[in-house]
Every structure is written in C-alpha cells, then in structure tokens.
Structure 1
Amino acid sequence: MRSEPQASAYRPAPRIEAIADWIASPVSPADFPSHILRFRNDRWAATVGLDGLDDASWITHFGRFEPLPDNLPRPLALRYHGHQFRNYNPNIGDGRGFLHAQMLDGEDRVLDLGTKGSGQTPYSRDGDGRLTLKGAVREILATEMLEALGVYTSKTFSVIETGEELWRGDEPSPTRSAAMVRLSHGHIRIGTFQRLLALEERDHMQALVAYCLETFPGNLPPEDAPGRDEPAVILLHQVVERMADLAASWMVAGFVHGVLNTDNMNISGESFDYGPWRWLPRWDPRFTAAYFDHSGLYAFGRQPEAVLWNCGQLAIALSTLSTTEPLVAALDRFAPLYQQAMSRRFAWRLGVTSQGLERDNALIQAAEQAMLASGEAPERFFFNHRGGRNAGDGRFGELLSAYEPAAETTDPFWRQDAPPSTLIDEVERIWGAIDQHDDWSALHARVAEIRELGRQLGPAPVPAGHVSIRDTDLRPLASR
C-alpha cells in the first residue's frame, strides 16, 4: 500500500482459513452499548470495494463486526509470542483485537481488516480488550502522517465510539471508548514464527513460510546469495529488505515508534500497532516515545538497531528450516540496504535528486548537524528546504546548493508558515477539542492538511527490485 489508493471491486479472499487451526482462535466481538461512527476512511475503503456501504451497514460490519459476505465466518484472534524489551514472553497474542476479513485489491494483493478494542480474547490476560477513544484518534493522526511521509504503514480504516467508560492508569479516567479497524497487507508477526519455534512445530513453520511467500510477494535473493532457492531463506531476505526500508523511513520521517517488540514487527514490512509514538520536537537520537522505556532501548537513534535485532530473532526461528550461513548472509544485507534507503528517502523528502550514496550520506550528516545546532523540528527543517530552498550558509547549505531540485515548490502550500504537525502539543490540542467539546473539526481539518502534504510530496521512492517472486513458480517452494 505504498501508492495512491485505487478503486476496486469487493473480492473476498479469506486465505488465512487454510492455516487458521494452528495460528488463531475463533472469538466473538464485544457487545457495545452504543455505536457512533466517528471516522471512516473511504479513500482506502475504495481499494477493497467497501466505500459504497452506507453508515448503518458500516456500523454493522465494523462496530458490531458481523461478517462481510463470503469472508471469515468468525473473527480470528491470532496467536504469537514475542520479545518485549528483549524479554521473551510466551503469554501474548491478540488480546484486544482480531482478524475480521481478508480481501483482494486491484493488484490482487491480499489486504486484512484487523481490529483494536473489539473485546476480550483468550489472550487478553488481565486486560479488558478495549481501546480508548483518545488512542483511536492518535492512531488516525499517526497513520495519516506516516502515509503522507512515505512510510509503509497500516491505514486507520474505521473508528466507532462505543459508549463505555474506561479506566486507564496513564491518562485521565474515566475516558471514552472506541472500536478501531485497520487495513493492512497482513498481521503475521516475527512473534508468530517465534511461537512455532517454541512449540517445536516445524511442519507448521514450513507451512507459514509458504503462506507468507504467497501472500506477501517480494524479491528473490541476489544471485550469489547462499541458499537462495530455500523458502525460509527467501523469506528472510524479503523481510530484511522490507525492514531496512521501514527503519530508514521512520528516521527520515523523524518518527519514534516507541515499542519495537518482535510481536509488533509485521512480516509484510508495514509499520503498525501504534501506542506511545512521537514525532521529534527536535533532532535528538536519544529521544524516547514510551515513558516506560527507561533504558532508551527504542530511542529514535536506536530504531535501526532494534529492527535488525528483531530480524535476527526471525532468523533464529527459521533456523529450524535452514542452516546458519544463508540466514546470516541475509541479515548481513540489512546495513547496506538501510544506507541505500536513507539515501533515496532523505533526498526525496528534501525534494532534490539523489547524487549517490557517498554524497547523500554527507548531506544527511550535515543536515543532522544543522538540526542539532538550530534545535529546529525535522518537519519544519524539511519544509523550509524542500526543493533545495533556503540553502543558507554552513556545511549543509553548501552541500544542498549543489543538488538539483526534483520537485516543484511553487504551489501556495509551500508558502504557508509551517507544514501540518503531529507533534505532541498538536495531538493534545486536537484531542482536547474532542474530549471537552465533542468538536471533531480540528481532527478532520488536520487529516485534510496531512493528505495535502502527501499529495505535494508525491510517492516515496522504492528500492530497485531483483527478480520478483511473482515471476517464479510458488508450488515447488510451498511443498519443500
């Protein structure tokens, strides 16, 4: 879902049913006292043929969670384990969400509708299975801004206020409740593989690899890669490619996810599961988003390291199907792929033409030093210098002036005082209007402004491909 959404017909594709017996548990949604539709993303609903639903039908399917036609007959709570702040936890899984439906888009890609705040499951532990309305509003803002900034992210599809009062220790209580639906290419996590490793379910591991290769098509490994015809090795190469690009996209966006546990890492390479996220108020590698991240494990500047560590945990799980050498070779690609992604994405956000890895790296370092010296928020820095504007004096200005503009900045959008912001003060202001006055106008206005930012920036660059897995015969891979 990296490109502008394109309309398509509704085509159900509940493929996960083939592996549901050992990867998920059927569950029932909560029965909420009320259903008030607060947000529907018709822009992305059109990609799966659901934008034509009237509001009553929308609430039926995404508030009461009645099955969509010819789709999953019951919601599925997915099972997984995970490292949480590097501590292994086997007692997790979908505790307040489930997989609701799967459909094809216009390019025949499988898209999932997954929920958050839809009720308790066998994996809720002591949780109530609910989501605060504030959490849903924050997720709208996070996903909209990340999409605009070229990050491969899940999309907030629907938010319905549910009329319950929730008590939370980290925000004023009681607070309002909501059921949210997200659209993404999948919900298979690194922790999904870790669970199968812990349970020694080798056959299921093999079947899950086959499911992922078919459901999330990607590139074949480089021709000189050892074990490049092994399904597990192919999958790890694909995940490393996706994760390297994802980590770079967060860094260029100035975004701090906050909780990069292995159960929050999607095999599809999508950013998702937004909790204590933040955008940088200034360039600071030590900035953390989660108040409970006391060691700074997931600080802004440590995000690439955290993502690579998580890829290593996937490699450990896949070692049941392969040998060490080809898996290590796949992991060794992360650093150069990350540098390449930083190069192309940084030039793209500045609106200039890349001059190659060495020169782009020098520009990136100079930009970081300029932001550190000025204390300027990254969002304003990139806005001010879009298309090579306002190069100024100093090392960064000298380097930037040698770059060719790759984007027009004559639109009035680029002459406003500042770009749309999702810094924490703005998020709190938008939520305050909703919380105190039930005024949703600021949220809707900000979403419109963010989407205009995305239109102005245009699509983010994607890495050059090798041989696409779509061009190979998947049947032999699936049967090995």
Structure 2
Amino acid sequence: MNQTPQAAKYRPATEIDALMPDIADPVAAADFPQAILRYRNNRAAASVGLEGLSDEQWIAHFGRFTPLEGSLPQPLALRYHGHQFRHYNPDIGDGRGFLFAQLRDNAGRLLDLGTKGSGQTPYSRFGDGRLTLKGGVREILATEMLEALGVNTSKTFSIIETGEALERNDEPSPTRGAAMVRLSHSHIRIGSFQRAAFHDDKALLERLTDYTLTRLYGEAPGDNPPAQLLGRVVERTADLAASYMVAGFVHGVLNSDNINVTGESFDYGPWRFTPFWDAGFTAAYFDHAGLYAFGRQAEAIHWDVAQLAVSLRALVEAPPLIEQLERFPALYGEAMQRRFCWRLGVVPGGDTGAMIEAAVRGLVTTGTGIDRFFHDWRGGAVRDGAAYGDAAWAPFREAITNFAAVAGAKDHAYWADAAPCSMHIEEVEAIWSAIDTADDWGPLHAKVAAIRRMGAAHGDAPKTP
C-alpha cells in the first residue's frame, strides 16, 4: 500500500506460542549506553495502532525493548537453518535480532515486530549482535523505495542510535551503532522448515505448515496441507521475483534463510538499485560468481522455494509438491506482465510479453535508465521532448500503441517532474555522509518524502491473484 493507512486500534497477539518452545529461544536485549530516537515510521505505526506513542514511550519499547502490553513477555530469537550461496549451514539463526512483538493491522493481518542490532543471542557465533547506523539508514531507503515501487516488503519501523562505536571491516570504523525494528508479515522463512527437516522433526514441520496456512495465509488446511502451502509460497515468491525486476532492484543475498514464506521481501544488507537493465549487475561485493545478480534473481528464488519442497517431502509424496513447484516459471511470467504494465500505467492487453521484450531490448541496447524509461512512457505515450528515436526503440514504439492508459495514469503532479525519483548508490552514500559528518538528517527525511510522493503517484500495486 502506498497510501496513508487508516488508523488502527492496537491489537496485540501471541500467535507464535503455537510453535514454542521448538521455534525460538527467549533472550534479553543488549543494554545500550544511549537510546537516541532517529527515525519513527508513523505511517506504519498508524496501521497497527501505535502512532500515539510519545517519543519517550517509543524509545522505551523500541530502544530499551520494554514489552508491548498484551504481546510477547520476552523477546524470542528464532531458530532456522539455510542455504547460503547454495551451501547448507545448520549453524545460523537470529544472531543479532529477535522477535519482539506480534500484533494485527487494521485488516486483521498478523504482523511481527522484529529487530536487527538488538544484541547477542545463542546464534551470534562470533558476531557482536550489533547493527551500524549506516545499515539502519540504508534499510530505511530500501524499504521506502521498494514500497513505493509496489514491492511487497517489510517496513522499517524504528531506528534508535545506541551510543556505541562499532568496528567493521567493510566500512570506515569505528562507526555509530543502532537498533532497528522492522514491521513484517512474519519472520518464518524457508530456513525454518529446513531446520525442522534437518532434525527429522515431522511434528514441527506439521505445526509450521498449519501455522503458516492458518495464521499467515488465513486458510483452512485442505486435503494436502504441505502442497497447499507450497503452492501459496510459489505464487507469492514468483510475484516477488517479478517485482524486483520491474523495480530494478537487486537484493544481494537471496539465501533460503532470507526468503519469507509469505513472499514478503526483508533483510536488506548489500542491496542496490541498478541504473540500467543489466542482467549481470550484482549488489554484494562478495558475490563473485554473480549468483544473485539482477537477471538471476528469479532463478535464485525458485531454487530456494525448491528447498522448501525438499523439506516438505518428509510429510508427503513428491508428485504434488513437484506439480506446485513447476508452476513458478509461468507465474513469474504472468507477474512480470502484470507489474510491468502497472509501472508503465497501461492496461494489460495485446501481446504484453512482446511489448516487454521490446522494451528490455531498447533499454539494453541504448543504455537508457530504468527509472527514466518508466517515467518517460507513463500512460503508454512518450513525454514531450524525450529522445526515443533510435532504431532500437522502434519495436517498442510500435508495440505500445496497442496498450491504453489506465484511468488517471498521469494525474499526479509527480509525472510532470523533469526527472524520476531514483535511489542509486551515489545518493545513498551522500545521504549517509550528511549524517556521518554533520549529523544532518535533512537529506534523509527529504528523500523519504520524495519517495512517498512517487509512491502516491503510482498508486497501489497489483494484487497477486
């Protein structure tokens, strides 16, 4: 949703109790030297009835982690395994975060408030359990931009600066520390199922399946709950992969422990938005083989979902799982068409696949920016003065004539702007530099406002059928 949500009543929940004690370990938050409120997402807070908290109350809950009334009495560090760059790792889990609270939004949907940088847990291994302030700022920018571009994403709920000086190998150190809280539709991931399967815990697999279907998807289990669940995950993740492509986004670390079973994107480390349609563009400096490059994200997510199918094989025969898994490519293609037309502001119709193919060919051949292209062609007609006369654009210019503009496609004043709102690495670094060198948060707040304006211009993203 890109619009300001209707105010909701605070509705605490403790649904995770259904999976305890097998899914998580009770933990305590770190005692930070300071707790300085740097960011509170009042739009997200309004959707769960917490926008009325004073700054002091906000800091108490999201910097000192005083429990929210009626929700979890103690934070829980979730247990899971995962394939990390295709190598199985049974020694992971919430190492610098925990599930802090559960609650419901104004639609009754069960949501989690989870943390990052809140201290060490049994799964921290050699880590300090902390998050850099820069990492928190980057997550704000990623989630705001993705939400505006229609991606189903977690929301960065809160950033509290902790007063700690952290040492890191991949950024100038010492650097400032922070505790972040995100609002998301569950923290149950494919790796949660992998861990249960690894330990041959069929009872936990069955409970995880039931929990996900009934509490997260709101469905009654049918004749084959594991296949039913896999089908829903296939649908949601195929749409997620397409939404990344249309947004020009590269997550960077699409390990199976980073794939939520609700299909919601979360956990942003070395993310990037690619300026151009470059299939080989990578976000993580350590992704030497390009496993999670821009053009390979659908393949990576499909592979991860296959690991969920492998885990569920402990409960049911393979054929119905294979049948669901094989739906992914077609669903991905449908989602690409649906989302590409949405961002263009045209009604799907005609040969949408050929139109997209022609657009991508034009983007690649001419080096036109992704954001520039969608801005210039909003509503299916090129903006005055935009240069698309190159022969490489001829097939697209012909194909787009078969597509009508959606009602009000260009009504918002944003579409009259000379340039699109983008979020590339140079601007990310400039926003952080203002904070780091002058404690100037103005550029960050201005960018969030600009991104939300763009989101309002696009309107609500298409729903997954």
Residues 314-323 or 402-411, more deviating: 402-411
For 1:437 and 1:376, locate their aligned partners in 2 and report how far apart those are by CA, in whole Å: 35
Structure 1 alignment gaps of length 5 or more: 222-227, 465-480
Q: Which residue of 1 aligns with 2:341?
A: 347
AA matched with 1:460: A
Q: Which residue of 2 aligns with 1:402?
A: 402
Contact 2:2 2:456 in 1 (8 A): no
CA-based RMSD of the aligned residues comes to: 1.4
Q: Which residue of 2 aligns with 1:274?
A: 268
Superimposed CA distance per residue, residues 182-202 of structure 1 (whole angstroms, 9 cap, x where no aligned partner):
001100010000000111111
1:383 is aligned to 2:380: no
Contact 2:18 2:211 in 1 (8 A): no
Structure 2 alignment gaps of length 5 or more: none
For 2:464 and 2:199, locate their aligned partners in 1 and report how far apart those are by CA, in whole Å: 36
For 1:324 and 1:186, locate their aligned partners in 2 and report how far apart those are by CA, in whole Å: 27
Q: CA deviation at 1:4?
A: 5.3
Q: Which residue of 1 aligns with 2:430?
A: 429
Q: Which residue of 2 aligns with 1:139?
A: 139
Written as runs of structure 1 = structure 2, the 5 A alignment for 1:87-126 is 87-126=87-126
Superimposed CA distance per residue, residues 340-391 of structure 1 (whole angstroms, 9 cap, x where no aligned partner):
10011000100111015xx111111111111112212211111111111317
AA matched with 2:75: P
1:205 is aligned to 2:202: no
Q: CA deviation at 1:410?
A: 4.3
Superimposed CA distance per residue, residues 60-115 of structure 1 (whole angstroms, 9 cap, x where no aligned partner):
00000010001111000000000000000000000000000001112211010000
One of 226, 251, 254 as aligned partner of 1:257:
251
Q: CA deviation at 1:397?
A: 1.3
Contact 2:259 2:265 in 1 (8 A): yes
Contact 1:2 1:152 in 2 (8 A): no
For 1:217 and 1:19, locate their aligned partners in 2 and report how far apart those are by CA, in whole Å: 16
Q: Secondary structure at the match of 2:21?
A: helix
Q: CA deviation at 1:416?
A: 1.6
Q: Which residue of 1 aligns with 2:172?
A: 172
Q: Secondary structure at the match of 1:22?
A: coil
Q: CA deviation at 1:411?
A: 3.5
Distance 1:402 1:219, change over 3 A: farther
1:191 is aligned to 2:191: yes
For 2:244 and 2:16, locate their aligned partners in 1 and report how far apart those are by CA, in whole Å: 29
Q: Which residue of 1 aligns with 2:225?
A: 231
Q: Secondary structure at the match of 2:291?
A: coil
Aligned residues: 456
AA matched with 1:375: G
For 1:336 and 1:3, locate their aligned partners in 2 and report how far apart those are by CA, in whole Å: 30
Q: CA deviation at 1:412?
A: 2.9
Residues 271-280 or 402-411, more deviating: 402-411
For 1:398 and 1:199, locate their aligned partners in 2 and report how far apart those are by CA, in whole Å: 57
Q: Which residue of 2 aligns with 1:419?
A: 420
For 2:112 and 2:420, locate their aligned partners in 1 and report how far apart those are by CA, in whole Å: 32
Q: Which residue of 2 aligns with 1:41?
A: 41
For 2:58 and 2:359, locate their aligned partners in 1 and report how far apart those are by CA, in whole Å: 46
For 1:34 and 1:3, locate their aligned partners in 2 and report how far apart those are by CA, in whole Å: 34
Q: CA deviation at 1:219?
A: 7.0
Distance 1:409 1:300, change over 3 A: same
Q: TM-score, with normalisation over the residues of structure 2?
A: 0.96
For 1:322 and 1:281, locate their aligned partners in 2 and report how far apart those are by CA, in whole Å: 44
Q: Which residue of 1 aligns with 2:15?
A: 15
Q: Which residue of 1 aligns with 2:319?
A: 325
Q: Secondary structure at the match of 1:211?
A: helix
Residues 411-420 or 270-279, more deviating: 411-420
Q: Secondary structure at the match of 2:162?
A: strand
Superimposed CA distance per residue, residues 264-292 of structure 1 (whole angstroms, 9 cap, x where no aligned partner):
00001100010000001211001110000
AA matched with 1:172: P
For 1:2 and 1:99, locate their aligned partners in 2 and report how far apart those are by CA, in whole Å: 26
Contact 2:2 2:452 in 1 (8 A): no
Contact 1:117 1:130 in 2 (8 A): yes
Superimposed CA distance per residue, residues 19-63 of structure 1 (whole angstroms, 9 cap, x where no aligned partner):
120000000000001111110001010111100000000000000
Q: Secondary structure at the match of 2:165?
A: strand
For 1:395 and 1:63, locate their aligned partners in 2 and report how far apart those are by CA, in whole Å: 54
